[in-house]
Amino acid sequence: MNRKTLIASIFFAGASLAPLGSHVVADEQPLAGYSAESSHAERQWEEKLRAIPSPEKLRAYMEHLSARPHHVGSPYDKENAEWIAARFKEFGLDTHIEQFDVLFPTPKERGVELVEGGPRFAAKLQEPALPLDPTSGQQSEQLPSYNAYSIDGDVTAPLVYVNYGIPEDYEQLERMGISVKDKIVIARYYHSWRGIKPKVAAEHGALGCLIYSDPHEDGFYQGDVFPKGPYRSSDGVQRGSVADMPVYPGDPLTPGVGATKDAKRLDLKDAATITKIPVLPISYGDAQPLLAALTGPVAPEGWRGGLGLTYHVGPGPAKVHLKVKSNWDIKPIYDVIGKITGAVYPDEWVIRGNHHDAWVNGAEDPTAGMVAVLEEARAFGELVKSGWKPKRTILYAAWDGEEPGLLGSTEWAETHYDELRAHAVAYINSDTNGRGYLGVEGSHTLEKFSNDVAREILDPETMLSTWKRNQLHGIANAKAPEQRQEIRQRSDLRIPALGSGSDYTAFLQHDGVASLNIGFDGEDGGGIYHSIYDDFYWFTHFSDTDFVYGRALAQTGSTAVMRLADADLLPFEFGNFADTIQTYLKELKDLSQKMQDDIRERNREIEEGVFKATNDPKRPLVPPAVEAVPPHLNFAPLENAADALARSAAEYHKALDHANADGGAALAAASVAEVNHLLIASERRLTTSEGLPNRPWFKHQLYAPGYYTGYAAKTVPAVREAIEQKQWKQADEGIVVVARVLQDEAALISTAAQKLSAAH
């Protein structure tokens, strides 16, 4: 497909299955936030921009950056930071490295033994080098497999299998009459951020926690294992942080402030995010003898993994000895920051970043994303040399210390909190990359904008726009006819909210900077995540082997940055935002209703004797207890706020239509700068200085990682989590707080609409 038909498919997205062809009109349609004239110029620069990223360069950067292990504190981590800084400088960016000093534990002693209940067995805790995978043998530089920020401990206790180790698994255990108190639990990876598993285990009184990679999730059950295929072999281990990041990310010793040289630091014993019990990750090779030694009830069907054994829950007779001890050192981290100063609005910053540190060689995570960021920086450097000047300042960042706990981005966003609150327009993040569909998550004030960008990017496999491919993929995967209808008819594809798990967290959820997270995936399976086999050999055999999706990511990221940096009027939009708030409101009301219905029904069944009648005395289950039916919550403040938002969004839309008339001359008026200030402040307005109940670091009132999910977002968390946790008073209080925030947002949008109407 050539570019003209591509744009046609973009423009007619509203009636998006309409035949392509009227591209003349499409070409004349100005970009959102641009006058006809500035749009024309912008399109030409964007064309040049997107032609620059080269797969060969992406491949060469990856080969260099992933050549040796480069975790926090390693020599190659520092070398990579310096190398990236040298490239940024060579491309023409005004570049510096910002150092922070953070708590980073590394393993000193690790041990897992089966001491009773089966043949004595000591876990290997070692991923072997493979002859055909050249970097897998760099053992002297590799960080052993471990979970960072596990507390030190030496415990021996009977073992209990807890499935994924999330709260609902413990509810099931309770029904089975099994307690994990004074036991060691073994949980499998997936279905939550890994740090949730030891947190919930400790809340239930466990003494220790093992986390293993079951082949059902990313091993032989999914496909051939490495090196024959991309999946996890029996010795592969997922490293990773287990800090309690839903409380606060970043350096555990400096919550809320930058970990600069002289920062005031907590004592290690007072750091709330270190786990309460020792944790160690193991391979399925090491987990198999432990699981095989469990007896007790057979695990419920949904708990059974892919190993060739009958999964029992225990407790025991398997008894395990677990030992974890770390060096609790302070290590330097190096954030690389490159700048192109804006020619018109130097105090308005568009920020783009990806992390550069890895657990080991990290070709996929993070290098596949990092190399796209490098190519974007090079592309912008080239355009500057050929006469382009961004209106706004552009910052390119390579963060350090993301893997242990979003350290580099969090410390930077905490250190520069006031400046970012004043100047940041948006933050665009990526982390990994692969083949498949363009994934976009983020702030809903940028939903329309991100759709517009997706319409510009060509999918390398189908030659459809990434937007079109996503739409058709959405239709293929829709669960219900209404969903399919919406995907066909709504002018924009919905984007999911951000939870956590990458460097956008501090920008969005602490500083209140509108954020997007982007990356391609969906066609590459794999099981090398956070292992020594996530390396150049694996990536160039099993992922985006010709780096065409790396190029597409660089095109996506750079287009988004350029369009934000050059716009006359920033392309924030509030119709989709207000629509999203309505969907959240409906979800919350449905949730509250469902909790009432479920509890009422269960109470009735208890009374009818359903549980007694269906209990098998040989496999007894504890009957649930009668529970008080939840009270009705007062959603009226939120309903009024959602309506106010919808009204102000419509006002803004009308003002925008007016400003776009006559070629959008009004958009060039000096007074548009004031509208932009309000638009920049619009995401800030969604935060409160008090933050969320029980976790004040998280200030955003719409988006947060779930306290018990970790990666997955909880939207309107103060209300949703209170309902889920049956804290009805807190839920009603949360409704009032969020409603006030949304009323303030509606007022800001109305003011912006009035100022925009007055611009000429």
**Interface residue list for Zn ion (CB under 5 A):** 365-366, 431
Distance CA 357, CA 365 (A): 9
- Least Å distance, CB 431 to Zn ion, is 4
- Least Å distance, CB 95 to Zn ion, is 22
3-state secondary structure 57-123: HHHHHHHHHCCCCCCCCCHHHHHHHHHHHHHHHHHCCEEEEEEEEEEEEEEEEEEEEEEECCCCEEC
Distance CA 448, CA 564 (A): 13
Whichever of 501 and 630 has its CB closer to Zn ion, that residue is 501
Distance CA 122, CA 113 (A): 4
Tell me the two tokens of residue 592. 């509250």
Whichever of 365 and 400 has its CB closer to Zn ion, that residue is 365
- Least Å distance, CB 366 to Zn ion, is 4
- Least Å distance, CB 64 to Zn ion, is 18
Distance CA 566, CA 285 (A): 54
Whichever of 342 and 366 has its CB closer to Zn ion, that residue is 366
Whichever of 240 and 366 has its CB closer to Zn ion, that residue is 366
Tell me the two tokens of residue 309. 């054994």
* Burial grade of 736 (CB within 10 A; 0-12, 13-18, 19 or more): middle
Whichever of 135 and 502 has its CB closer to Zn ion, that residue is 502
- Least Å distance, CB 503 to Zn ion, is 8
- Least Å distance, CB 136 to Zn ion, is 20
Whichever of 431 and 579 has its CB closer to Zn ion, that residue is 431
- Least Å distance, CB 523 to Zn ion, is 19
- Looking at the DSSP assignment, which residues form a beta bridge with residue 110? 324
Whichever of 240 and 252 has its CB closer to Zn ion, that residue is 240
The candidate with the shortest Cα–Cα distance to 453, out of 13, 1, 5, is: 13
Whichever of 71 and 265 has its CB closer to Zn ion, that residue is 71
Helices and strands (H and E) in the chain: how many: 25, 16
- Least Å distance, CB 518 to Zn ion, is 14
- Neighbouring CB atoms inside 10 A of 47's CB total 11
- Up-side HSE of residue 375: CA atoms within 13 Å toward CB? 33
- Least Å distance, CB 354 to Zn ion, is 8
- Least Å distance, CB 365 to Zn ion, is 4
Distance CA 387, CA 406 (A): 36
- Crossing angle of helices 55-65 and 368-385, in 10° steps, is 130
- Neighbouring CB atoms inside 10 A of 472's CB total 17
- Least Å distance, CB 521 to Zn ion, is 13
Residue in the structure block whose two tokens are 């200085």: 689
Whichever of 400 and 683 has its CB closer to Zn ion, that residue is 400
DSSP reduced 3-state for 336: strand
Tell me the two tokens of residue 53. 């990223």
Instruction: Output the CA torsion 550→552→556→558 (10° steps).
Output: 60
Helix (H) or strand (E) run with residue 515 in it? strand 515-522
- Least Å distance, CB 362 to Zn ion, is 7
Q: Could you tell me how far CA 60 lies from the centroid of its own chain?
A: 27
3-state secondary structure 443-509: CHHHHHHHHHHHHHCECCCCCCEHHHHHHHHHHHHCCCHHHHHHHHHCCCCCCCCCCCCCCHHHHHH
Distance CA 395, CA 91 (A): 13
Whichever of 77 and 651 has its CB closer to Zn ion, that residue is 77
Whichever of 365 and 376 has its CB closer to Zn ion, that residue is 365
Non-local CB neighbours of 421 within 8 Å, separated by 6+ positions? 511, 512, 684
Beta strand pairing call for 515-522 and 436-442: antiparallel
Let me know: does 370 contact 356? Beta carbons within 8 Å: yes
Whichever of 83 and 504 has its CB closer to Zn ion, that residue is 504
- Least Å distance, CB 594 to Zn ion, is 35
Whichever of 30 and 408 has its CB closer to Zn ion, that residue is 408
Residue in the structure block whose two tokens are 């997270």: 517
Whichever of 230 and 519 has its CB closer to Zn ion, that residue is 519
SS3 content of the chain, % helix, strand, coil (to 5): 45, 15, 40
- Least Å distance, CB 361 to Zn ion, is 13
- Least Å distance, CB 567 to Zn ion, is 30
- Least Å distance, CB 432 to Zn ion, is 6
Tell me the two tokens of residue 205. 């009184």
Whichever of 285 and 353 has its CB closer to Zn ion, that residue is 353
- Least Å distance, CB 183 to Zn ion, is 33
- Least Å distance, CB 402 to Zn ion, is 5
Whichever of 62 and 645 has its CB closer to Zn ion, that residue is 62
Tell me the two tokens of residue 573. 């939009």
Beta strand pairing call for 184-188 and 392-399: unpaired
Whichever of 431 and 492 has its CB closer to Zn ion, that residue is 431
DSSP reduced 3-state for 429: strand
- Looking at the DSSP assignment, which residues form a beta bridge with residue 425? none
Whichever of 366 and 499 has its CB closer to Zn ion, that residue is 366
Distance CA 30, CA 587 (A): 36
* C-alpha distance from residue 687 to each of 173, 697, 737, 742, 745 (Å): 38, 11, 10, 10, 10
